[in-house]
Amino acid sequence: MGDLRELYLQKCADFACEPIGPLLEALNSGRALDVIALDGKTKAMFNNRVKPMQVFALCETLYEFSGLSVLRLSYNFLNDMAVQAIARLIQINSGLRMLDLTGNEVTGQGAAALAGVLSRPTVGLQALVLRNNPLGDAGVLDISEMLRSNTSLTMLDLADTHCGVQGAIGISNALTDGNTTLKILDLEDAQVQAQGPQDSTYQHLIRMLACNTSLTELSLAKHRMTDQHLEQLVTYGFAKSKATWISLSLRGNRLSPFAGPHLERLLSLCPRLQRLNLASNSLGNDGAVSLSRCLAYCTDLRELDVRSNSIGDIGLMALAGVLHMVHTLELFLLWGNNFGLGACRATADALQHPSLRRLRTDVRPYTVDGEVSLALQEVS
């Protein structure tokens, strides 16, 4: 480790940049460097976020370091030039398995550099996180073209990357008739249009769902999805899918109480589903009652999120009434709905059931003058 420290200090001198404090501390202490986490939002890094020249020095230090498996550089000041240096590191250091570039300034040019390297068969990167970077359609299309030949990536996060209609269609097509190894895909906040092109986008998503056999986790959060779109996805996509779905996020869409029957069918088609996120829709009482009818048959469900769905007493009481039957449930989030006295009492009673001792939730019952109420609490 001492040799690596000396090499790093030499590279910092070559690029005329300050050593990264937490990294230098780790090198001085002799700790293992299989994971390098330099998150710019942490207290240690907030006022000293990583800059491009520091990335150049870091990457050249790590070219032949075989111990590195995870590199996290989220929320720093990294641009396309820095990403080009990281792309070269991925090419040379085949031991790197995960790269997290969340919240930087990577555009289509940086995405193209990463895609060019990841198209090569010798690269071993398995997880790529690019969320909250302005890739745009051009960058997402480069990533999608890379997916057609890449056989190492199993996880890809493209949330909040300014992905538009073309990018969403490109990813869908690559996973329809090209890639067969990707398991986890996050397309949150793809900026598809409210009318017209959106319908075309959903047709491509439907084909992807029907044809792809490797995906197990998918996020279509903030896609402006309506009840009709969900019905199409379920009827023509999930109903024909041969994949084993374990996680699905439909958070922040436009689902109404009329989406209930489609959600019932979706859950019947995905019996191995472990995580379902429906937060920030408008499911209301009817949607919640529909969910309650099928939850008891979801034998693998571990996490359910129905926060901020305009659910009233009727729906909340229906959900509370079946909680004890969902023996696998470990996390249930429901704050932000319309709790009346009946819902508070039913939820408090349900949480006392012996079968729910392991259940974590975001509400805490308390009693004042004989009346049960619920308070928001942090989920551990």
Domains of the chain by residue range: 2-376
Cα three-residue angle 14-16-21, rounded to 5 degrees: 105
Residue 321, pLDDT above cutoff 90: yes
Residue 363 token pair:
């509400």
CB 286 within 8 A of CB 257: yes
Residue 239 has a pLDDT of 97
- Look over the chain and give the mean of its residue pLDDT values, rounded to a whole number: 94
Residue 193 has a pLDDT of 61
Kindly report the pTM of this predicted structure. Answer: 0.95
What residues does 98 pair with on adjacent strands? 70, 127
CB atoms within 10 A of CB 215: 21
Cα three-residue angle 214-72-42, rounded to 5 degrees: 130
Residues near 297 by beta carbon (within 8 Å), at least 6 away in sequence: 267, 268, 271
Residue 196 has a pLDDT of 46
For 27-53, what is the mean pLDDT? 92
Residues near 175 by beta carbon (within 8 Å), at least 6 away in sequence: 147, 182, 185, 208, 212, 215
Residue 143, pLDDT above cutoff 50: yes
pLDDT in tens, 330-344: 999 999 999 999 999
CB 305 within 8 A of CB 330: no
How would CATH label the architecture of 2-376? Alpha-Beta Horseshoe (3.80)
Residue 198, pLDDT above cutoff 70: no
Residue 192, pLDDT above cutoff 90: no
